[in-house]
Amino acid sequence: MSREQTFLMVKPDGLQRGLVGEVIRRMENKGMKLVAMKMIHIDKDLAAHHYGEHKGKPFYDGLIKYITSAPAVAMIWEGDDAVAMTRTMIGATDPRKAESGTIRGDLAMFTGKNIVHGSDSPESAKREIDLFFDDSEIYTYSLAHENWLYD
């Protein structure tokens, strides 16, 4: 296992439904460390960069309209195998296929409004972190209970 950082965003539907605290609670309860967080109203340019791999797909325009419709909460989480761990906690993209106990499995109903976005690889995490955060916004610190979490 390796300590890494991942990007996690509570999308506009999650913010509007009051689920930011629930997402943070689940991440903290798992033992992940929050190292950056901010509320942001994503503009079309940032949305186009963030979702660039979907350009040309039938759902792209709707995705851009949705993600720019209201504020979101962008976060960086740190932990051992943070990307894989976070993806497991988030659940399948389609909430109807997401397992019970995952964020999407418990809290979402439709793919288009599935509460959170999480990086799908360490490379994506770096790209997304660089899109949303400056180095000065990322904190380095130790949690008092880290020695109880990691070998």
| Token pair listed for 101 | 């106990």
| Neighbouring-strand partners of residue 76 | 7, 36
Question: Is residue 57 one of the residues assigned to a domain?
Answer: no
Question: Is residue 66 one of the residues assigned to a domain?
Answer: no
Question: Is residue 68 one of the residues assigned to a domain?
Answer: no
- The whole-number pLDDT of residue 97 equals 97
Question: Is residue 120 one of the residues assigned to a domain?
Answer: yes
Asked if 140 and 146 count as a contact pair (C-beta separation under 8 A), the reply is no
Residue type, 27: M
Question: Is residue 52 one of the residues assigned to a domain?
Answer: no
**How many domains does the chain divide into?**
1
Alpha-carbon distance of 36 to 58, in angstroms, equals: 33
Alpha carbon 69 to its chain centroid, in Å, reads 17
Catalytic residue ranges: 117
Model-level pTM? Answer: 0.94
- The whole-number pLDDT of residue 148 equals 87
- The whole-number pLDDT of residue 2 equals 64
Alpha-carbon distance of 84 to 96, in angstroms, equals: 20
Question: Is residue 61 one of the residues assigned to a domain?
Answer: no
Question: Is residue 95 one of the residues assigned to a domain?
Answer: yes
What's the CATH code of the domain at 101? 3.30.70.141
- The whole-number pLDDT of residue 146 equals 85
Range of the domain at 137: 3-36+74-149
User: Quick one: which of 117, 23, 124, 102 has its CA closest to 67?
Assistant: 117
Question: Is residue 63 one of the residues assigned to a domain?
Answer: no
Tens-digit pLDDT string for the chain (151 aa): 468 999 999 999 999 999 999 999 999 999 999 999 999 999 999 999 999 989 999 999 999 999 999 999 999 999 999 999 999 999 999 999 999 999 999 999 999 999 999 999 999 999 999 999 999 999 999 998 888 888 7
